[in-house]
Amino acid sequence: MPVSQAPIALHADLSRRAVVRSDDLPWLASPQPGVERRLLERDGGEVARATSLVRYAPGSRFSAHTHGGGEEVLVLEGVFSDGEGDYGAGTYVRNPVGSAHAPFSEAGCTILVKLRQMDPADQSRVVIDTRAAEWHPGLVAGLTVLPLHGFGPESVALVRWRPGSRFPLHGHPGGEEIFVLEGVFEDELGTYPAGSWLRNPAGSQHAPFSRAGCLIWVKTGHLAPATVS
């Protein structure tokens, strides 16, 4: 069995901005043969709060396991499967805290996956084929939005930017996380081609735009510090 090369902490401080170009990262072996990972953020050992790209070779699989902190998946390529169904490229899946499955891929696939980052009270299982779902006009001209999920302050969506689109300067009281799926996303801090992962902490602000056009997965509201009552 391959030995995991996961670090204990990688971009683990949620109060700090992080930018990763995933295409520059190596694929690291997971504990399961045929399953490799590119690590975007991680806090913990093999059981960890983590955001990763995961690549399944054809015929590879994970043994049955429970998600103590939930699992969020966006299928980027191929077909991802478990006992509940088969999920082609463009499918968004949320498995809530306490759910269990035995994932595999007969044909092979690549997924964006987030682990142990859900509110235990959010018990909705979500499966959306984003390539067949209805998109809506965005808040500014040139943007269209496909909502994926919302719970409390957290909101998840796909956003498509037409070439030349711009969004005015705005803040993120609860933080923002982005994965660039297509094209090039930009703001005053940098340029982010497809495969880039960004985390803007709670209280940050920016004025994003896209000269070439792009498609992004975006989550907001989930990075605010916990309050003590």
Residues 45 and 111 in one domain: yes
Residues 108 and 46 in one domain: yes
Q: pLDDT tens digits, residue range 98-135?
A: 888 899 999 999 999 999 999 999 999 999 999 999 99
Which amino acid is residue 101, in one-letter code? H
Q: Is residue 228 part of a domain?
A: no
Residues 195 and 89 in one domain: no
Number of neighbouring beta carbons within 10 Å of residue 96: 20
Q: Is residue 86 part of a domain?
A: yes
Q: Is residue 61 part of a domain?
A: yes
Residues 203 and 179 in one domain: yes
Name the pairing type of β-strands 154-161 and 214-220. Answer: antiparallel
- Residue 26 DSSP class: P
Overall domain count for the chain: 2
Q: pLDDT tens digits, residue range 193-228?
A: 999 999 999 999 999 999 999 999 999 999 987 643
Question: Under a CB-based contact definition with an 8 Å cutoff, are residues 163 and 210 in contact?
Answer: yes
Q: Which among 129, 161, 187 is the end of a domain? A: 129
With a threshold of 0.85, does the pTM exceed it? yes
Number of neighbouring beta carbons within 10 Å of residue 95: 22
**Residue 91, domain extent:** 9-129
User: What's the CATH number where 199 sits?
Assistant: 2.60.120.10
pLDDT at 82: 92
